[in-house]
Chain A
Amino acid sequence: MSVLVFVEGFNGEIKKSSLEAATYGYQVAQQLGTTATAVAIGEVHEDALAKLGEHGISKVLYDADSRLNQFVADAYVKVIAKAAQQENAKVLVFSNSNIGAAVGSKLAVRLNGSLATNVTTLPKTDGGQFIVTRSVFSGKAFADVNLTSDVKIIAVKKNALEAASTGSGSATVEKFSADLSDADFVAAPKETIMQDTSGGVLLTEAEIVVSGGRGLKGPENWHLIEDLAKALGAATACSKPVADLDWRPHHEHVGQTGIAVSPNLYIAIGISGAIQHLAGVNSSKVIVVINKDPEAPFFKAADYGIVGDAFDVVPKLIEAAKALDK
């Protein structure tokens, strides 16, 4: 019996959220008195895979089939299901990404397993139960869920725990193949188009997010958001009205019906803080609100606030941020 962690790559490296999943998997394995194995698919550097040992992973099963460089759910499921069977995995751990949650859902059917997504805690295993806490109601509440099947599948919410180093050295990387056929690729993408990711920082992976609202007055002023993000090594985001007005693309819209983010630091500039926006960002560890309206509801949810015009305040922040590392 073991714990199996699925890790995702981006530009050949392991995503930060997958390192968090690896840490989670290792800690569950410790609880259960077993080891944690990872499975990796597609284009990931082998030295990055070996470094998973630093997060407690003892072995990595690596399927380097180039057809898996793009996400194809059926093929990914087949690889991970075979790895789970080989390792006799009773706990499968994913990051709560689009890929992780999708593959986890299909595996729950295939392996007759219990699935919890958006998980924020390690399991409580007293009395034969397996209870995890998951974020629900768009971050406005938590639910404790007992996973009742023999196989438990967990998708860990991003930034819910740190990708801690255990210092246990390098993981063994083993080649792995699931004998994929053409039938596994009927829904393969014809085309993959990567967007500008704010200097390489993915919004969903970012530790710092700088987000703008209608207070920026127009898309021509977005350089203020971008310059501050650049100075802080952050990703950029926007509120729903900004995306609806086509000032910014929809993939930057954070909120209840957009992307939910949970960075260490969320800086909201010119966003009043409608409850729907808050629902998508309220898992952020620290929230900063900058708004010229002192009555903006967002201040009630903020840790730090500045009442002021974005056009006066943001240049001062950019200057201070640039000065940090000088």
Chain B
Amino acid sequence: MKILVCISNVPDTTSKINFSGDNKSFDKNGVQFVINPWDEYALTRAIELKEAKGGTVTVLNVGEADAEPNIRKALAIGADDAIRVNAHPKDAFFVAQQIAAIAKQNNYDIILMGKESIDYNGFQVHNMVGEMLGIPSITPAFKLDLVDDSTARLEREIEGGKEVVEVKLPFVASAQQPMSEPRIPNMRGIMTARTKPLQVVEPVSAEAKADYVSFSKPEKKGGVKMIDAENAGELITLLRNEAKVL
């Protein structure tokens, strides 16, 4: 069983978001980068499947060299090897083309990734990869089990419910919680990760289709109006007459 897990290198969930002076790029100063939380669900589930059924887990990142500490972290958690496509991830279409190119060379049985990244929140790449490869994409999945060597059973979220889907391998799935319980790498894992192969490859020629022109932040709120707990019912009146949301 060959599993490919695609990870993004994203600002820590507690990061304050700032942009360059001309608002054309994200300001990385003082920002800690982590493995995208949803990708961690995918990574851990892939490692659990490998531990149960055998096989390999390869980690793939489309990104620049500063992503390597988090790629090593994924190796420390239990992935076997890693590939970094040496490119700035311009947009979802560009990233999907890089992933599809790697997948075409290596015939993975399962391709997993998070349902979206917490920076660009696109919810696009998994479905694009599935479409580019002509294989099913099941998203967003919160449960993934193997029925046998050629079939997987997934549960995916739909608005207001869930669907149970069985698909033949190969397929693409995106992960959300509670697909797995993300792991913290132990010392042995960290030591072993240093010697695991991390291959850096150049990107295939691919175009971006969305050009990020500028960034901005939401306007600050006007402050909170406090209501005395003894007269809590007054809140309902304010929500109707002042805020006009009831």
Q: Which residues of A contact B (CB under 8 A)?
A: 10, 15, 70-71, 73-74, 77, 96-99, 101-102, 104-106, 108-110, 113-118, 131, 135-149, 186-195, 197, 202, 204-205, 207-208, 232, 250-251, 253, 256-258, 260, 264-265, 275-276, 279, 282, 285-286, 288-289, 299-309, 312-313, 316-317, 319-321, 323-324
Contact = CB atoms under 8 A, between A and B. Distances in A.
B229 interface: yes
B191 interface: no
A78 to B, nearest CB: 12
Interface in B152-199: 156-168, 171, 176-178
Interface string B33-50: 000011000000000000
A276 B13 contact: yes
A286 B243 contact: yes
Contacts of B211: 145-146, 148
Contacts of B201: none
Interface residues of B, number: 78
B167 A143 contact: no
A228 to B, nearest CB: 10
A232 B246 CA distance: 8
B229 A304 contact: no
A148 B209 contact: yes
A320 to B, nearest CB: 3
A74 B136 contact: yes
Contact of A71 (B19, B158, B212, B224): B158
Interface string B207-246: 0111111111110011011111100111111111001011
B210 A105 contact: no
Nearest to A319: B233
Contacts of A141: 17, 19, 215-218
B137 interface: yes
B224 A140 contact: no
Contact of B121 (A70, A136, A258, A275): A136
Majority SS at the chain B contact face: mixed
B64 to A, nearest CB: 19
A193 B164 contact: yes
A66 B194 CA distance: 54
Given A115-B92, A148-B209, A232-B246, A73 B215 contact: no
A302 B216 CA distance: 21
Contact of A143 (B168, B212, B245): B212
Contacts of B227: 304-306
A317 B233 contact: yes
12 contacts: A10-B159, A98-B123, A138-B118, A144-B212, A144-B216, A149-B209, A186-B167, A190-B165, A304-B225, A306-B227, A307-B226, A317-B232
B200 to A, nearest CB: 26
Interface string B43-81: 000000000000000000000000000000000000000
Contacts of A135: 121
A303 B208 CA distance: 40
Given A101-B124, A148-B210, A257-B38, A197 B217 contact: no
Contacts of B157: 98, 251
A307 B215 contact: no
A301 B221 contact: yes
Contact of B138 (A187, A285, A316): A187
Given A101-B123, A138-B118, A204 B136 contact: no
A98 B139 CA distance: 8
Nearest to B132: A109
A306 to B, nearest CB: 5
B93 A115 contact: yes
A307 B163 contact: no
Given A137-B118, A142-B215, A302-B224, A316 B232 contact: yes
Nearest to A233: B246
